[in-house]
Structure 1
């Protein structure tokens, strides 16, 4: 049981469908369901539609609403469509798999609702549907399932999904971190970012490299992951050159352990970890090196402050990177340029 709001499996399913490459998503439910996620995804060029279930259709069935919406979306020219359940449609027992071959269009049904548990269950259900439809192979499915479960494990043990209530905090250690960096001799810059958020979390590391002697570690492999994941890594590598690669952008739950193994062999006085810093077991590095974490969200400050000497928060990082295909300027990076430059 959680005592603070957590992301929905429906939202996770929608983002995973985006990564799979769908052109449009139909939410089979009330028009207000997952409104913020829908609007954010439209910034990433995914069109989101709703069947607008109301009290009558919830009682008597939503087939008419769904077929009308499918016809509308297909007539607009969309040929690769994600069809996502919601609490309303799943409770009344709508069968989304009945529409897989609707009008000879590729439909990916995802029967999901917010009461399933961890948000990553929604993403796993997308991968199950993709495997069933032959859109991915068994090896990629098992890989995705493993990573999604590891992501949940990291958040529950070390991040925002801890059982106790986490108070939102808009404070951080920006000024103190800047002062520490001013006197640094050798810095290890670690990018351990989740998917497209790397467009923003790479920026402070690029700035650090501009002014300091740095060694760079990053989860920017282009060899694994869905097409969008690999393309995002390629885009970032045009601007940021790591000395060590720890994995791909969807492997952040396990890439942190590889990063720490590398850090143990380096002679640095400051470590800056940007993205998902709590995925690194930095407690294994001891207290001789100063640790600075950069992450996203007002509920992240306290969990990462337990692990790092300084915690810096980039608010709304995810919203800022949607639709982007190049580096996005960060508050920390801009502050560093003003402070050092």
Structure 2
């Protein structure tokens, strides 16, 4: 029986500030199967990138601590393995494309030297072999004049070209899992489409799993099989992508969809979600979305709703959504028989 590639279970992560410790990820569970694309969506501050950094083991221990849960990856628990073991996984079995390629690339090293370093560290190649493979990688991500680009510095590259270099570095060791954190941010629409097409092409070639972190639901529709919606460090809804777009259950997901521009929507005002994501230090006792929700009820302020199945492969953390699902599944009442 096939096992999930990633199996995060009930992860609770705290961050330490100067004055207090706050819960940044609350009882978060995510699974990802080989070859699958999972989109993790939500506004800034919902915990998407923090989840990726926790998976990669890149959070500094002096300010972060896993209070509970595990991050299973290929049979190992990333939470409990040694730092040396994490280093062997990073770049080799799991890799990450960061939000801003211009800040992720070292400005004082050439593109080629950064690629070669990755290949030599993880694959143990000699300099000549590593350079040849680096050129091949640049060609694989459709960078023209790959030999010439090897000797250029990152500031000479466009945003789209820099992102392609980051992708080349990420796939250099044929990882089983690629985490793409807002891979199309700050790129124009044409370049966005090219980057997404490139990711699809690379995934089809290698069979790697892809975790796509984004706030762009158009990207989700084009790329993902499943979607996990996060809000204030918690997963509030999860469903196959078609189900989520056709029947969003959580009011937050519904708000995100209403705020998404649609083809042919000219001159119409986009809907928005009032308010903002609460600060981690100011989370309420009940549902974190309470202040922004048009369906809020007194019970929502008293306790936080658990993530509950609504239908096959569809779950949500919302009392109202759970009530509606319960009504849908109740058998119809039969009329009484009179004598």
TM-score, normalised with respect to structure 1: 0.32
Higher share of residues assigned strand: 2
Larger helix proportion, structure 1 or 2?
A: 1
Higher-Rg member (1/2): 2
When normalised by structure 2's length, the TM-score is 0.32
